[in-house]
Chain A
Amino acid sequence: MLQVKQLTCVRADRPVFQGLSFDLKASRLMQVVGVNGSGKTSLLRILAGLLKPAEGSVSWRGMPIEQQTSDYSLARVYMGHANALKGDLSAMENLHWACLLAGRDPTQPVIAEALNHWGLNRRHHLPLRVLSQGQQRRAALARLSLLLDAKLWLLDEPFAALDTEAQEALEHLIARFLDEGGSVILTTHQAFGLSPRITDRVDLDRLRASC
């Protein structure tokens, strides 16, 4: 589904990695590893379409992503380091808006269910800034529960700063998404329970540009 050919990434005139190629099929879980500064975040941003690669191409179902109309933006979900949530809006408002933006329109009960699943019962309508950091992160991840109909999740350090309970919830969610035919590319430093399900692995340290 996602085809990457001879990708080279240059940041601030310094080459980061070069010659990355892979072909990701449906129901696959890919882990991207590499030391800090090896370009993990840059790679995810390139795959999402936020960043232009210096060279190489990324194609989705045979068509380069920069030529895609709305197909690819409906199919892929990108989650960066930040939560992309507003402290002045409630969890409910935040999620509804995020889903609208992503081209979905879930009803209130559906969003409420997703929030409950992430242990945010009775906090649906509080302004997000009164919740703890961990709870805010959960609210951000609850978005994924509402985007199970996507085809590709690009998750940048999704397990960072999660307690075991939330980590398990996320692992279950990813497993379910894989079972339903979705593919996941994630970066992480820590060990996580899905290790047996990892099918693909990219080691950016090996692709370090010689410079």
Chain B
Amino acid sequence: MSSATPNQALIGSRWFKYASPATFYPLAGTLAPWFAVLSLLLFGLGLYISFFVAPTDAQQGEAYRIIFIHVPAAWMSMVIYLAMAFWAGLGLAFHTRLSGMMASALAPSGALFTVIALWTGAFWGKPTWGAWWVWDARLTSELLLLFLYLGFMALQAAIEDPRRADRAGALLALVGVVNIPIIYFSVQWWNTLHQGASVSFTRAPSMAMTMLEGMMVMSLACWAYVFAVVLWRVRKIILIRERNSDWVRQLQQKGVL
């Protein structure tokens, strides 16, 4: 069956063995639960450190504790876009179908973390600056990043042919990733010139070691969560795309699905 074989030129290469959806599907199924468990453990540890171990901030009181979610979420939102662009570029260059599926599987998680970063930013802003929304350079960039994610998902949702959706999304993600630094610097410039930079996230001068630890553990937990969720999502996408292929039918006959 033709649609189950990846790009002919790549078959011989060991590296691309897992680029075939048929081999990746069971691998993802094995790995995902492990990452889920790992993520739960890390979240538990991270939240414990954030709430009970980390000291109360001298200026901001208890309200600052939201950074243990806010900062990892903001990091994730950017890393995931980079990962998405990486898979997109790979897919455009080598015509590997799995790459496009990975990019589509990453987008919702990226958008989710962007929303979390914005939301928690608002929660943090209210007690700290007295306003839910401040046109801070980072918050504004984060908002534009959310628009980029939403545009990516809207474009993919609008295209029926999955192959075209993958490739169109990939090109958009690449255009986006080239633009992100430009957007970031222009927004920062705009911000310093317009606002007098009275508020900034970089204010906390010396962060206690435990605070940093808490953030690190929370970030790792987010990583593990993303791995688990994306692997599960990519499995779903593979099944939908490959529903006509022999190996999916064999799974159905065995009663695995």
Contacts and interface: CB of A to CB of B under 8 A. Distances in A.
Physical contact A–B (CB less than 8 Å): yes
Interface of A: 8, 10, 12-15, 18, 54-55, 211
B2 A13 contact: no
A83 to B, nearest CB: 25
Given A18-B2, A54-B2, A54-B3, A12 B161 contact: yes
A211 B243 CA distance: 12
B158 to A, nearest CB: 15
Interface of B: 2-3, 8, 160-162, 241, 243-244
Contacts of A18: 2
Contact of B244 (A8, A54, A55, A211): A211
21 contacts: A8-B2, A10-B2, A10-B3, A12-B160, A12-B161, A12-B162, A13-B3, A13-B162, A13-B241, A13-B243, A13-B244, A14-B244, A15-B2, A15-B3, A15-B244, A18-B2, A54-B2, A54-B3, A55-B2, A55-B8, A211-B244
Contacts of A55: 2, 8
Contacts of A13: 3, 162, 241, 243-244
Contacts, number: 21
Contacts of A10: 2-3
Nearest to A11: B161
Nearest to A10: B3
Contacts of B161: 12
A18 B3 CA distance: 12
Contacts of A211: 244
User: Which of A8, A12, A18 neighbours the largest number of chain B CB atoms within 10 Å of its CB?
Assistant: A12
B7 to A, nearest CB: 11
A78 B142 CA distance: 48
A54 B3 CA distance: 8
Nearest to B3: A10
A211 B2 CA distance: 12
Nearest to B8: A55
Given A12-B162, A14-B244, A18-B2, 10 more contacts: A8-B2, A12-B160, A13-B3, A13-B241, A13-B243, A13-B244, A15-B2, A15-B244, A54-B2, A54-B3
Contacts of A54: 2-3
Nearest to B245: A13
A10 B244 CA distance: 12
A53 to B, nearest CB: 10
Nearest to A53: B2
A75 B155 CA distance: 36
Nearest to A209: B2
Contacts of A8: 2
The 4 closest A-B pairs by CB, nearest first: A54-B2, A55-B2, A8-B2, A12-B161
Contacts of B3: 10, 13, 15, 54
A99 B244 CA distance: 44
A8 B1 CA distance: 11
Contacts of B241: 13
B184 to A, nearest CB: 37
B138 to A, nearest CB: 42
A15 B4 CA distance: 12
Contacts of A15: 2-3, 244
A1 to B, nearest CB: 25
B200 to A, nearest CB: 50
A12 B243 CA distance: 12
A80 to B, nearest CB: 18
A151 B2 CA distance: 32
B35 to A, nearest CB: 29
A15 B244 CA distance: 9
B243 to A, nearest CB: 8
User: Which of A13, A14, A18, A211 neighbours the largest number of chain B CB atoms within 10 Å of its CB?
Assistant: A13
